Structure 1
Amino acid sequence: MKEIRIFAPGTVANVACGFDVMGFALDNPGDEMVLRTIPEKTVRITKIDGFNLPLDAAKNVAGVALLSLLSEVKEKVGFEVEIYKKIKPGSGIGSSAASSAGAVVAANKLLGEPFSKTDLARFAMEGERLASGTAHADNIAPAIFGGFTLVRSYQPLDIISIDTPDELYATVIHPQIEVKTSDAREILKRNVLLKDAIRQWGNVGGLVAGLMKSDYDLISRSLEDAIVEPIRSILIPAFQEVKLKSKEAGALGGGISGSGPSIFMLSRGEATAQKVKAIMAEIYDKVGIEYDIHLSKVNKEGVKIISQK
């Protein structure tokens, strides 16, 4: 196999209470990437379609992730890369993670799959380090593993796949404003009250249990962020109204997608997710901010192969 084309999914990170440790993959939006092997130990990004991003591999998240992977490959091989970018950088839907994860999954396929999914996450995290200054895995993990994931530990890296209830749908609205991950991290408090930490731990445990048991009521009760959301939500216009009215329409709950500005809501069944979509649109039409809305089942596969030759 000399060439592969893949779909790299958007992802929702944090999932309310799971800051830097929980995330899930979407069926849409997503990027496409083409990788080819070349007989030199280097990475060449030859095309980026969609957004003005650097072609220099050392300054591009996909390039950095691939260079990290190549540092552990003995043979003389490298990659030529084309990126067809559909996820807007700074959207809060895992744009940098899609490029980083998609690149290493495709490269691993071309090499005959010498690396585990955890290895691939470790390489892709270097792209996140370039993008935000922190090598976090809450977007990377679901992009590679699919479905819902929990990063149990960073040292050593330990990623757990969590069962996804069949009727779970996500509605994600992306207001057309930019919130940089690095800026959103900068405003966070460095210390957390013990009572808030205890509340958050309980919600994380409840959310994991709710997902594994397909207990939608428990999922709903657990989608609460006592630490990060109260600070970051001030950066997102109409956030509280979207969340309140979506829950009134039957959504289980939701919050900020990643560092924002996107807002996600989880629902049981597509009909409720469609109601939430209409409410989100109505609110942002009134506010006067342009937006994109994505309605998706949870993507249980993660990065998907489109074609190979």
Structure 2
Amino acid sequence: MNSISVFAPATVANVACGFDIFGFAVANPGDKITLTVRDEPGVRITDIIGDEGRLPRETARNTAGIAIQTYLHHIGRTDVGLDVVLHKQMPLGSGLGSSAASAVAGVFAINELLGRPLPTMKLLPFAMEGERLACGSAHADNVAPSLLGGFVVIRSYHPLDVIRIDTPAILFCTLVHPDIEVNTKDARFILKNEVSLKNTIIQMGNVAGLIAGLMKPDYDLISRSLVDVIIEPVRSILIPEFNEAKQAALDNGALGCSISGSGPSMFALSRDAQTAERVGAAMQQAFLSVGVTSEAYVSEINREGPKVLTSVPVLS
């Protein structure tokens, strides 16, 4: 039986100052997908595990399903029949790129199953269709790092221009997900349509500084540049105890701390694993002080991207 299982990682998008243009992948958590070939053409989602029945099983309404379907139409393989099982291994609406990981896992898996007719970079537009379905906008700051691994910059959407940049060999990310949910569409709706020239200049300086700090590498420059004066002040009101959790991260040695994606998860970057663990515990305690429980994940930046979990018999 032709079958493949693939893991795709969670991601941190925006990365403080880089709204819609920065993102990086983490080692944990992530989503897993299993594709099994069947005789009847078409993509069928047979099960979703870990979503508490909340995600649609209809292929055209599911981020993984639409990504796979769009890919198959593009390469002219509508003759292929697939049963899809999706294992959700991260919270929904968490700001960790849950919908992106599912779409990336799906399109990466079918490309592997078919013998890699397209290079990995060419899979990006199909994964972005999953994001369009999830939040109404085909943004790439989650799907690109999940697909390519590492830290990515989306220089342009028209035309799509994605750059993967070097990061320090030792750089740890702490993710803390408070047990509340923020809808991505709602988090975009509250943003202002206009930004002052003063804040634009500050933000541009931080964007440039963060890229330079990551590539040099210069930890002090990274720390000074992990500042968001445009998006964070607006979205942070959706996260209870945000300021206290952020301050706890900084007090315990984090280089910087901000919202992961549209929230409610928060991320912090640190120079070593011990600091990253301490930062996570302090942030969790800040949330717990107001009765909000949370999950914490610590990992280095994931430079690998999706990972095949089973052997891959190529489908002719």
1:184 pairs with 161, 178, 187, which one? 187
How many Å separate the matches in 1 of 2:255 and 2:13? 17
1:13-28 alignment, distance < 5 Å: 13-28=13-28
- 2-side partners of 1:106 and 1:212: how far apart? 31
CA deviations 1:188-210 (Å, max 9, x no partner) are 00111122112111111111111
Report the equivalent of 2:6: 6
TM-score (structure 2 length as normaliser): 0.95
Query: 5 Å matches for 1:31-180?
Result: 31-51=31-51, 52=53, 53-75=55-77, 76-180=79-183
Q: Which runs of 5+ in 1 are unaligned?
A: none
The DSSP-based 3-state class of the residue aligned with 1:71 is helix
Q: Determine the structure 2 residue equivalent to 1:290.
A: 293
Superposition deviation, residue 8 in structure 1: 1.2
Deviation of 1:251 after TM superposition, in Å, equals: 0.4
**Residues 152-195 of structure 1 deviation map (CA, whole Å, 9 limit, x = unaligned):** 11111111111121211011110111100000000000111122
Unaligned runs of 5+ in 2: none
Mapped contact 1:35–1:107 kept (Cα < 8 A): yes
Amino acid at match of 2:7: F
Q: Is the contact made by 1:6 and 1:304 (CA closer than 8 Å) also made in structure 2? A: yes
Q: 2:71 corresponds to which letter in structure 1?
A: L
What one-letter code is carried by the residue in structure 2 that aligns with 1:86? Q
2:248/2:286 contact within 8 Å kept? no
SS in 2 for 1:308: coil
Cα-to-partner distance string for 1:227-282 (whole Å, 9 max, x where unaligned): 10010000001111111121121100020000000010000001110110121122
1:237 corresponds to: 240
The separation in 2 between residues aligned to 1:154 and 1:192, in whole angstroms, is 20
Contact 1:90/1:179, CA 8 A, preserved across alignment:
yes
One-letter amino acid matched to 2:133: L
8 Å CA contact 1:41–1:70 kept in 2: the answer is no
Segment drifting more, 274-283 vs 34-43? 34-43
Figure out how many residues of one structure are paired with residues of the other and give that number: 309
Residue 22 of structure 1 contacts residue 148 of structure 1 at CA under 8 Å; is this kept in 2? yes
Opposite residue 57 of structure 1, the aligned amino acid is: T
Preserved contact between residue 118 and residue 158 of structure 1 (Cα < 8 Å)? no
State the AA in 2 paired with 1:120. L
Distance in 1 between the 2:43 and 2:161 partners?
A: 28
- Deviations 1:7-32 (CA, angstroms, capped at 9, x unpaired): 11111100001111111111111111
Q: Decide whether the 8 Å contact of 1:70 with 1:78 is kept in 2.
A: no
Contact 2:245 2:284 in 1 (8 A): no
Q: How many Å separate the matches in 2 of 1:121 and 1:38? A: 26
Q: Which runs of 4+ in 1 moved over 2 A?
A: 36-41, 116-119
Match of 1:288, as an amino acid?
G
Output the aligned Cα RMSD. 1.3
Deviation per CA, 1:16-58, whole angstroms, max 9, x where unpaired?
A: 0111111111111111111123455421111111012111101
| C-alpha distance in 1 between matches for 2:189 and 2:6 | 33
TM-score, normalised relative to structure 1: 0.97
Q: Equivalent pairs: percent with the same residue?
A: 54
